[in-house]
């Protein structure tokens, strides 16, 4: 590893597990990484990022509420970032320009398929939410083989915009939040809303949960408690939070910056413990 600096930008950011995760990854290669959490209010984000990269910054993770701003300030963007219309990774290229990437979708699918050994092919999936995280994972779920994707968002226009952008009317549909009680059951239910982190409860009907359903909350820790409790009490076969996704997305960023993919299982187990 080099003297280059790394960081995660967010607001607030003190809760972030990213410095701990990247330190643990670096340790696997016998290295120490200079990776800090930087709190930047929205008005200060652009200048803070540019100052970081001007002062030997090589890579930055970006979290709420800056993911759209991160894409906007980058000079180039991967297909995943363009699709999601947001970036959670910024990398300084050799010529000084900034490249934006989004690892949310790959991280979720790797957590589901590699860690939890789920074969996504043929699943009928319900995606709750249509914000940055939902946009990051929707295409990748389809690429991974889910049979159908039903997108339901509190504000219907955002769900419609996401479905239109994907453009697969045979596999992707939207429904109103008020219709959740009557749209049938699903075998994969993903909570990509920020209700949990905002301390708000989602009133979800039990009937959504199919007999062998897997329910997954992209948030983790206390923020996921309500959704996971609802899933278990509704008869879900599996109920997972997004901690594994977080570790996988971090590993993708680490690999991008350092050219080596760390082992995620040990870090996941340590965080879970």
Question: Considering only residues 1-20, where is the footprint of ligand NDP by CB under 6 A?
Answer: none
Q: Which lies closer to ligand NDP via its Cβ, residue 192 or residue 253? A: 192
Question: Considering only residues 117-136, where is the footprint of ligand NDP by CB under 6 A?
Answer: 129-134
Is 218:63 a contact under the CB 8 Å cutoff?
no
Backbone Cα Rg of the chain? 18
Binding segment for ligand NDP (CB under 6 A), chosen from 18-26, 74-82, 191-199, 256-264, is 191-199
- Count of residues near ligand NDP by CB under 6 A: 30
How open is the CA angle 134-138-142, to the nearest 5 degrees? 165
Q: With binding defined as CB under 6 A, does residue 71 bind ligand NDP?
A: no
Q: Which lies closer to ligand NDP via its Cβ, residue 19 or residue 196? A: 196
CB of 66 to ligand NDP, least distance (A): 10
Torsion, Cα 244 80 83 166, to 10 degrees, reads -80
> 23 by DSSP, 3-state: which?
helix
- Residue recorded with tokens 């596999």: 171
Q: With binding defined as CB under 6 A, does residue 105 bind ligand NDP?
A: no
Q: With binding defined as CB under 6 A, does residue 174 bind ligand NDP?
A: no
Q: With binding defined as CB under 6 A, does residue 69 bind ligand NDP?
A: no
Q: Which lies closer to ligand NDP via its Cβ, residue 234 or residue 249? A: 249
Q: Which residues are part of the catalytic machinery?
A: 67
Which ranges constitute the DSSP H helices of the chain?
A: 18-28, 42-54, 67-73, 79-84, 104-110, 132-143, 156-166, 222-233, 243-258, 265-272
Q: With binding defined as CB under 6 A, does residue 165 bind ligand NDP?
A: no
Q: Which lies closer to ligand NDP via its Cβ, residue 106 or residue 124? A: 106
CA distances to 54, 57, 85 from 92, in Å: 9, 7, 19
Q: With binding defined as CB under 6 A, does residue 234 bind ligand NDP?
A: no
Contact with ligand NDP (CB under 6 A) among 242, 253, 267, 268: 242
Residue 215: left (phi > 0), alpha (psi -120 to 50), or beta?
Answer: beta
Is 66:9 a contact under the CB 8 Å cutoff?
yes
Binding residues for ligand NDP (CB under 6 A): 64, 104, 107, 129-134, 153-155, 158, 192-198, 200, 202, 218-220, 223, 242, 245-246, 249
């Amino acid at each position: 590893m080099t003297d280059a600096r790394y960081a995660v930008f967010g607001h607030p950011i003190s809760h972030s597990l990213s410095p701990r995760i990247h330190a643990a990854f670096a340790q696997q290669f016998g290295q120490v990484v200079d990776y800090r959490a930087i709190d930047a209010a929205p008005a200060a984000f652009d200048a803070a990022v540019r100052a970081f990269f001007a002062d030997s910054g090589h890579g930055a993770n970006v979290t709420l509420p800056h993911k759209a701003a991160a894409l906007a300030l980058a000079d180039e963007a991967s297909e995943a970032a363009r699709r999601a219309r947001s970036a959670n990774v910024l990398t300084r290229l050799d010529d000084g320009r900034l490249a934006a990437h989004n690892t949310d979708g790959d991280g979720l699918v790797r957590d589901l398929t590699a860690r939890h050994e789920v074969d996504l092919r043929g699943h009928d999936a319900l995606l709750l939410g249509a914000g940055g995280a939902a946009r990051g994972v929707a295409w990748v779920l389809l690429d991974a083989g889910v049979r159908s994707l039903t997108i339901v968002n509190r504000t219907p226009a955002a769900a419609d915009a996401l479905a239109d952008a994907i453009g697969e009317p045979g596999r992707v549909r939207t429904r109103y939040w008020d219709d959740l009680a009557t749209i049938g059951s699903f075998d994969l239910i993903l909570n990509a809303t920020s209700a949990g982190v905002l301390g708000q409860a989602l009133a979800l009907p039990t009937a959504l949960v199919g007999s062998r359903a897997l329910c997954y909350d992209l948030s983790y820790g206390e923020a996921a408690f309500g959704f996971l409790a609802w899933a278990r009490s509704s008869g879900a076969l599996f109920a997972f939070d997004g901690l594994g996704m977080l570790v996988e997305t971090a590993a993708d960023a680490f690999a991008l910056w350092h050219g080596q993919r760390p082992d995620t299982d040990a870090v996941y187990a340590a965080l879970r413990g």
